[in-house]
Amino acid sequence: MLSDLPVAETPQISGAGRHSETMDLGFGGEVAELYHRYRRGYPPELIGACVDAFSLTGDDLVIDLGCGTGQLATPIAPQVRAVVGVDPEPDMLAHARSAAQDQGVANVAWMVGSDSDLLLLRSLLGEQSVGAVTIGQALHWMDHESLFAAVGPLLRPGGGIMVVANGIPLWLQDSDWSRALRDWLSDWFGTRPTDSCGTDDATQQLYRESLTANGFEVSKIELDYADELDFDHLLGGIYSALPVDRLPPPDERPQIAAELREVLHPHRPYVEQVPVRALLGTRVA
């Protein structure tokens, strides 16, 4: 799934089966900071739906794969005994850890690792030891077939897997400001940004079919909201989706910001539509 736009959220090398220590996915350094600062968390209703679907209690363990800066792991943690947040990028984990500490959340173990470590986690934690495995906006980096096949025995009866897509990219919205942004990004990168980062219907359907084929009973949650972005959040959101080596040097950023501001200004307000889509696969005993 190679992107036309060099966005960090699109695998530019295959993550599947690689050792996490050899991964350089572009989420390090300043991108981790930008991600933490500018990217959306999830509506509380989504966390509630996950808790309800898998009957999570204070006795449960949850694994959040591709946890990033803790968008899912941290709000789930108060509902359960402990969460293991797994991500190959130590800088993302460092932000996750300090943000969780700031919120007084102390029951998350932040681990460097990847989807290919799931079998190891299964031997470490034991079969039927986990109430839920969650994956927020990260499955497109993973080998979902192997993951769905491996995860079943790790889950306790009634537990399950939640796969979430958090809205659609800023450059693919159906609005005049987003169309203007697409044109501007095309000029900048010399190629049109088309990648949906796994949020499109066809990819969701693929995940759903694969979950079903691996013995999960699947339901879907759709939560829609809209939110107005100020220009700084819009630009920060774009920078947070670039691999760190494609971020413009700091001295060029004022000029870039001025150009983009002028291009987008006629299309204000920048209202982002955020369709949150979650597949909830319950392990059928």
Ligand X SMILES: C[S@@+](CC[C@H](N)C(=O)[O-])C[C@H]1O[C@@H](n2cnc3c(N)ncnc32)[C@H](O)[C@@H]1O
* Among 68-76, 120-128, 177-185, 270-278, the segment contacting ligand X (CB under 6 A): 68-76
Quick one: CA dihedral 239, 241, 244, 245, positive or negative?
Answer: negative
Two tokens, residue 63? 């694994």
CB of 52 to ligand X, least distance (A): 20
Distance CA(100)–CA(117), nearest Å, equals 23
Quick one: CA dihedral 58, 61, 62, 65, positive or negative?
positive
**Least Å from the CB of residue 93 to ligand X:** 8
CB-wise, 32 or 235, nearer to ligand X?
A: 32
Among 3, 6, 7, 9, binds ligand X (CB under 6 A): 9
Q: Is 142 in the site for ligand X (CB under 6 A)?
A: yes
CA distance 279 to 50: 10
What is the rounded CA–CA span in Å between residue 128 and residue 267? Answer: 52
Cα gap 255→252, rounded to integer Å? 6
Question: Minimum distance between the CB of residue 116 and ligand X, rounded to whole angstroms?
Answer: 7
**What token pair was written down for 95?**
């932000």
Q: Which of residues 152-191 bind ligand X (CB under 6 A)?
A: 166
Question: Rule CB under 6 A: is residue 137 a binding residue for ligand X?
Answer: yes
Q: Which of residues 29-58 bind ligand X (CB under 6 A)?
A: 39
**In the complex, minimum distance from the CB of residue 242 to ligand X, in angstroms, rounded to a whole number:** 12
Residue 62 near residue 131, CB atoms below 8 Å: yes
Residue of the chain from 6, 7, 27, 159 that contacts ligand X (CB under 6 A): 27
Task: Give Rg (Cα) of the chain.
Answer: 19
Alpha-carbon span 59 to 195, nearest angstrom = 39
Q: Supply the minimum distance, in Å, between the C-beta of residue 91 and ligand X.
A: 9
Written as six digits, the tokens of 170 are: 């800023």
Q: Residues 89-128: x/- map of binding to ligand X (CB under 6 A)? A: x--x---------------------xx-------------
| Residues binding ligand X (CB under 6 A) | 9, 15, 25, 27, 39, 65-68, 71-72, 87-89, 92, 114-115, 136-138, 141-142, 166
